[in-house]
Structure 1
């Protein structure tokens, strides 16, 4: 999908939040923050070109942030906390899945729901767990290609799951566990980012949630949010080509991989007007969509 003019404002707003995050660990002076912000925006403007994908536009933003502050994991505490919160409800949610009318579809829906959970949320008195289960019962996929996915599972031998954020990767694990429950012989690979970038999952997160008990974690080669196929490593490309099904989680991965391969099934929540218009759904709706290559 192509970036629209609204994407520029989103990237600029995100730049401010990244500098504020850097300020908490680096104690940056007001003048330096001003000059740093100006530099990031200046570099961004030089990279702007209509026809690029949204995540391609943001590459210069992250390169500039790395140049200014080094490759720090600014969200390390938030990611670990999110992983632990979801792990606390892991067993209960798996019980909920297996006792639902359609466990595989329920697990897919929980994966989509996790895409909208706020990082600051707590599971006080089980309220978050109750909210997730309630949404799973009441909400439907605005685009629902699950029947096609279910048919593909019957003959699949290899699946590549491209993950998005920490925290929600625990609910992705639940989806993987449910797939393995019904199709134990399927080999599943779990692709994560190759370096810390905002709240995206890395191998550290796969270790924290013990993902290797169900799938084979790999680095995608991507050091930016989302997945740009051309910027992935050879291991990822090889597994991508040989997989029978590819599950792409989250909006960033959708932005990079949309209309590239009909083996892909996108699971996401439409979080902005640009993506919702691309999908022809409302902002906030859940999507389970098979890719269409035009």
Structure 2
């Protein structure tokens, strides 16, 4: 997915959020933002928003001399989610369709996005997910593919959110599926890394695989051959969050097996693709491709 005009102010907004994580003084923030404005001029407009955002974030890290400004925030997010986990797991396990409820729990965790929206109410998001479900809902197709397949790849997103993904992985394990869970190879924004996977015990229930890059999303040209092969051969791929939404579509040959699971946070993207902003979406890759061809490419 190519970058859009409105992506530019989000690059800067993420940079501000990043600096606020470690209390960078206002004078330094202004200096960094002016430097980033010059840097943004060099970005390739045809690249994905996730890739360009990654470059801006990594440049910000250089300017503030901190390779992981979200480190403490990620720890706090994991702690919060782990406190909610027992009650949430019990609720999902009691449901008549535990897999469906686990998907709702997983997408509710997508609200833990400290790059753009630092204020969130996870209890409210969980309640909304369970009560209202998905605005676009391709669950019947996903269920069918999971039942027929053996291997499921879950492409993770944020720290904290990874705990809610644990419930989904556990349900997949219970129905006999082998699960591979992809995390980032290094710190970028508040995305989950192998350290987070070990901290929340995801590594005990899934094959945790590093993406091969400390970049947002799964940019095909930069991830490892192992990850490319996993995505190419998996029976089902569940792609979490917007950065993966913006990059996994580069794996064109497997879109029939990809299911994007996210909350629509981007106002401009919602308008372009005719999504309801703030809604929860579970959409198959082929259907997303049709939607992009109909609306985004006009």
Report the TM-score, using the length of structure 2 for normalisation: 0.86
Relative to structure 1, the CA distance from residue 12 to residue 121 in structure 2 (aligned partners, 3 Å threshold; closer, same or farther) is closer
What is the Cα deviation at residue 139 of structure 1?
1.1
Which residue is 1:275 aligned to? Answer: 269
Give me the whole-angstrom Cα distance separating, in 1, the residues matched to 2:120 and 2:57: 29
SS in 1 for 2:136: strand
Which residue is 1:285 aligned to? Answer: 279
Which residue is 1:10 aligned to? Answer: 10
Structure 1 residue 58 and structure 2 residue 49: aligned? Answer: no
SS in 2 for 1:79: helix
What is the Cα deviation at residue 289 of structure 1?
0.7
Task: Report if the CA contact (8 A) 2:156-2:192 is conserved.
Answer: yes
SS in 2 for 1:73: coil
Task: Report if the CA contact (8 A) 2:6-2:268 is conserved.
Answer: yes
Give me the whole-angstrom Cα distance separating, in 2, the residues matched to 1:178 and 1:29: 46
Give me the whole-angstrom Cα distance separating, in 1, the residues matched to 2:77 and 2:54: 26
Residues 157-168 of structure 1: matches in 2 within 5 Å? 157-168=150-161
What is the Cα deviation at residue 232 of structure 1?
0.4
Give me the whole-angstrom Cα distance separating, in 1, the residues matched to 2:229 and 2:66: 28
Give me the whole-angstrom Cα distance separating, in 2, the residues matched to 1:276 and 1:101: 32
Give me the whole-angstrom Cα distance separating, in 2, the residues matched to 1:132 and 1:283: 14
Q: Which is worse superposed, 11-20 or 39-48?
A: 11-20
Which residue is 1:44 aligned to? Answer: 40
What is the Cα deviation at residue 116 of structure 1?
1.6
Relative to structure 1, the CA distance from residue 289 to residue 195 in structure 2 (aligned partners, 3 Å threshold; closer, same or farther) is same
Task: Report if the CA contact (8 A) 2:54-2:188 is conserved.
Answer: no
What is the Cα deviation at residue 118 of structure 1?
6.7
Residues 11-160 of structure 1: matches in 2 within 5 Å? 11-22=11-22, 24=23, 30=27, 32-49=28-45, 51-70=46-65, 72-117=67-112, 129=123, 131-160=124-153
Aligned length: 282
Which residue is 1:169 aligned to? Answer: 162
Task: Report if the CA contact (8 A) 2:153-2:237 is conserved.
Answer: yes
What are the ranges of 5 or more consecutive residues in structure 2 without an aligned counterpart? Answer: 291-298
Which residue is 2:204 aligned to? Answer: 213
What are the ranges of 5 or more consecutive residues in structure 1 without an aligned counterpart? Answer: none
SS in 1 for 2:95: coil
What is the Cα deviation at residue 17 of structure 1?
2.5
Give me the whole-angstrom Cα distance separating, in 2, the residues matched to 1:81 and 1:102: 31
Which residue is 1:242 aligned to? Answer: 233
What is the Cα deviation at residue 46 of structure 1?
1.5
Relative to structure 1, the CA distance from residue 217 to residue 118 in structure 2 (aligned partners, 3 Å threshold; closer, same or farther) is closer
Give me the whole-angstrom Cα distance separating, in 2, the residues matched to 1:251 and 1:111: 14
Please give the per-residue CA displacement for 1:148-205, whole angstroms capped at 9, x wherever unaligned: 1100111211111100000011001111111212x22x21111001111111000010
Please give the per-residue CA displacement for 1:39-87, whole angstroms capped at 9, x wherever unaligned: 22101112142x3321132243123223323452111111111111111
Give me the whole-angstrom Cα distance separating, in 2, the residues matched to 1:85 and 1:14: 22
Relative to structure 1, the CA distance from residue 159 to residue 28 in structure 2 (aligned partners, 3 Å threshold; closer, same or farther) is same
TM-align CA RMSD? 2.3
